[in-house]
Amino acid sequence: MRKQWVRLHDVHGVVRWTRRFLDAAQVPDAHVIQMNTPPLPSTPPPSSSGNLSPVVESPRTTHQSSIDCASPNDLLQKLHQAPTEDCHVIMWQPLDTTPANVTVLGSVVPPATASSLLEISKLPFYMKYAWFLHQVHDLVVPYDELHIKVKVMRDAIVQEAVENLLSYPPRALCAIVRYEFTGESAQDAGAVQREWCFLCYISGIITLGRYMLVSEGLLVEANGLFVVLNREDNSYFINPNSSHAWRHPNHMDHLKAFHAVGRFLGRSLLDGQVIPMHLSPVLLKAILGVPLTLDDVEGLDRTVHKGLLYLLDHDNAQDLALTFSVSETHGHNTVVEVELVENGHLRAVTDANKAEYVRLMVRYLVFGRVEAQLSALLQGVYDVVPPELLMPFDHKEFELILCGLAEVDVADWKANTVTSSNLDNSSPLQWFWEVVEAMSPVDRSRLLQFATGSSRVPVQGFKGLTSYDGEICRFTLKGVPYEGGAYPATHACYNRIDLPLYPTKDMMKEALTMLLLSDPTGFTIE
* Residue tagged active-site, from 69, 200, 403, 493: 493
Alpha-carbon distance of 203 to 213, in angstroms, equals 8
Active site residue 174: no
Do residues 522 and 184 lie in contact, with contact meaning Cβ atoms separated by under 8 Å?
A: yes
Task: Let me know: does 312 contact 320? Beta carbons within 8 Å.
Answer: no
Helix axes 395-403, 281-288, angle to 10 degrees: 100
DSSP state of 175: B
* Calpha distance 249→137 (Å, rounded): 36
Mark 223-244 as b/e (b = at least 16 C-beta within 10 Å).
bbbbbbbbeeeebbbbbbbbee
Phi, psi of 168 (to 5 degrees): -70, 135
- What DSSP designation does 336 have? E
Q: Give bridge partners of residue 34 from the DSSP assignment.
A: 91
Handedness of CA 255, 366, 269, 144 (dihedral sign): negative
User: Looking at this protein, which amino acid is placed at residue 249?
Assistant: P
Distances (CA, A) of 294 to 29, 196, 227, 356: 7, 37, 21, 12
Sign (positive or negative) of CA dihedral 453, 459, 465, 467: negative
**Inter-residue contact 98 to 32 (CB < 8 Å):** yes
Instruction: List, in order, residues 6 or more apart from 102 with CB less than 8 Å away.
Output: 34, 108, 109
Catalytic residues: 493
